[in-house]
Amino acid sequence: MPATAKGTKKTAAKRPPRKTAPAPVVEPAEDGPEVVRLTTDPDKAEVRIPLFSIDGKEYSIPARPRLNVALQFMHMTRKQGDTTAMDFLLEKLLGTDGYQALREYDALTPEHFAKITAIASEVTLGALEAPKA
């Protein structure tokens, strides 16, 4: 790992443990496939992790983006291309204010942008991984 300015090594941020969602209720149907009934948990708190900072102000993204965001990102990539999909993803993860701050930061370099987009897509597509048994 590269050393920081003070000579100490950076450690990778730990992801919070994956929480399992309540099991969907599967009801047998009389004439057809089983029906999966999904419910929303309104009390579920969102854990966020920092993605970047500008002049000391941190901007964060969900540590575990919702699966539907990953599916939307993949669909947009296939249907509309990488640029449109990444635009959608950054605004979805950072929120309007966070994405605006990134877009308006005049000193943003291609290297900064590449790192930010790589982390955002990696975290998002990680939501598609099946939980480990």
Q: What is the pLDDT of residues 101-110, one digit of tens each?
A: 999 999 999 9
Confidence of residue 2 (pLDDT cuts 50, 70, 90): very low
Q: What is the pLDDT of residues 16-49, one digit of tens each?
A: 555 555 566 666 667 778 888 877 777 777 899 9
Residue 75 to residue 123: CA distance in whole angstroms: 17
Rounded to two decimals, the pTM is: 0.69
Among candidate residues 125, 108, 100, 58, the one with its CA nearest the CA of residue 87: 100
